[in-house]
């Protein structure tokens, strides 16, 4: 999933990319030494490289003033991890519906509990997911808690995944969110988005340095054509003057016969 202006969990369906940015950029083709432009879509804005990333802790829910009255008047604080809004409960039912073949219902727990809850200013509620008509263990789930467990498994949405009905030996099947597995190696043949470059100025061009580099390969450099032209003219003038000097009669002989003093 995208990580905005940061790193995202590696998506093998997209090119590998080691820099952040989207839009139209300039690129250099080292095989032929030319510059070209290409557009990086917004979906590929983030860094996309294989390797496991640390998953952050799920954001803590807002605290709640709600408490449950127990026999004798004792007050037991309501766990904020178990709370959600009606809209969140309804969305959760739709999200997990494909995993069941019986009707699902979001039931407010406070309507079914023998212990009254004092909500105060709290607007969230305790909702249970009722699967069919069975309230036995494994068939009724705290919607708020399931949402929190999903957030914990995915780092608050950093990872994708899916809801699964998982059977464990000796216990009823339970609804569990299984986070996607991170990919630590790119698939064979995966493409890579090269680093972008700035556009060449009118007086610049690419030039190949034929001297082997530190890794045995030739490299490309950007050179100033105006400076090169002036340097070439100066060099030509020096070479011409030297040629005239060397061809002047008696100059080389005089140099050869001049004694060395010292």
Q: Poorest-confidence range of 105-109, 127-131, 249-253?
A: 249-253
- Mean of the per-residue pLDDT values of the chain: 79
Q: What is the pairing mode between strands 192-193 and 171-179?
A: unpaired
* Contact present, 46 and 8 (Cβ < 8 Å): yes
The answer as to whether 88 is a domain residue is: yes
The per-residue pLDDT for range 156-191, each reduced to its tens digit, is: 888 888 888 877 666 667 888 888 888 888 999 899
Find where tokens 């069975």 sit: 134
Contacts of 90 (CB under 8 A, 6+ apart): 106
Same domain for 221 and 158, yes or no, is no
* Contact present, 187 and 179 (Cβ < 8 Å): no
Q: What's the total number of domains in the chain?
A: 3
Q: Give the HSE-up count for residue 136: Cα atoms under 13 Å, Cβ half-sphere.
A: 4
pLDDT at 136 over 50: no
Contacts of 202 (CB under 8 A, 6+ apart): none
Beta bridge partners of 14: none
Last residue of some domain: 145, 179, 213?
179
The answer as to whether 170 is a domain residue is: yes
Last residue of some domain: 168, 197, 226?
197
The answer as to whether 61 is a domain residue is: no
CA-to-CA distance for 228 and 235, rounded, in angstroms?
A: 10
The two tokens of residue 247 are 């061809």
The answer as to whether 59 is a domain residue is: no
* Contact present, 85 and 123 (Cβ < 8 Å): yes
Same domain for 75 and 174, yes or no, is yes
Same domain for 20 and 78, yes or no, is no
The answer as to whether 1 is a domain residue is: yes
Owning domain of residue 148: 67-179
The answer as to whether 60 is a domain residue is: no
- Helix ranges (H only) for 211-250 are 225-247
CA-to-CA distance for 4 and 23, rounded, in angstroms?
A: 15
Q: What is the pLDDT of residue 257?
A: 47
The answer as to whether 57 is a domain residue is: no
The per-residue pLDDT for range 190-218, each reduced to its tens digit, is: 999 988 988 888 888 887 777 666 655 66
Contacts of 4 (CB under 8 A, 6+ apart): 45, 46
The answer as to whether 144 is a domain residue is: yes
Same domain for 187 and 206, yes or no, is no
Q: What is the pLDDT of residue 172?
A: 65
pTM recorded for the entire structure: 0.60
Same domain for 128 and 98, yes or no, is yes
Same domain for 89 and 17, yes or no, is no
């Amino acid at each position: 999933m995208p990580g905005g202006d940061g790193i995202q969990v590696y998506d093998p369906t997209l090119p590998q990319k080691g820099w952040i940015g989207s839009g139209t950029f300039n690129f250099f083709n080292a095989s032929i030494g030319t510059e070209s432009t290409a557009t990086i879509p917004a979906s590929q804005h983030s860094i996309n490289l294989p390797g496991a990333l640390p998953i952050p802790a799920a954001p803590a829910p807002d605290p709640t003033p709600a408490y449950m009255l127990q026999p004798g008047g004792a007050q037991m604080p309501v766990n904020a991890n178990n709370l959600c809004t009606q809209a969140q409960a309804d969305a959760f039912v739709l999200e997990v519906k494909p995993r069941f073949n019986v009707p699902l219902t979001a039931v407010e727990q406070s309507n079914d509990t023998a212990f009254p809850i004092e909500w105060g200013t709290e607007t969230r509620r305790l909702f249970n997911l009722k699967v069919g008509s069975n309230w036995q263990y494994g068939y009724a789930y705290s919607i708020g808690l399931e949402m929190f467990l999903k957030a914990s498994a995915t780092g608050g949405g950093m990872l994708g995944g899916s809801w699964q009905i998982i059977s464990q030996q000796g216990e009823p099947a339970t609804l569990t969110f299984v986070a996607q597995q991170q990919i630590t190696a790119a698939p064979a043949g995966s493409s890579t988005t090269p680093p972008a470059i700035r556009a060449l100025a009118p007086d610049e061009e690419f030039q190949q340095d034929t001297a082997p580099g530190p890794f045995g390969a030739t490299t490309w450099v950007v050179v100033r054509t105006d400076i090169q032209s002036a340097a070439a003219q100066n060099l030509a003038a020096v070479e011409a003057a030297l040629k005239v000097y060397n061809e002047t009669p008696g100059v080389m002989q005089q140099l050869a016969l001049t004694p060395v003093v010292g």
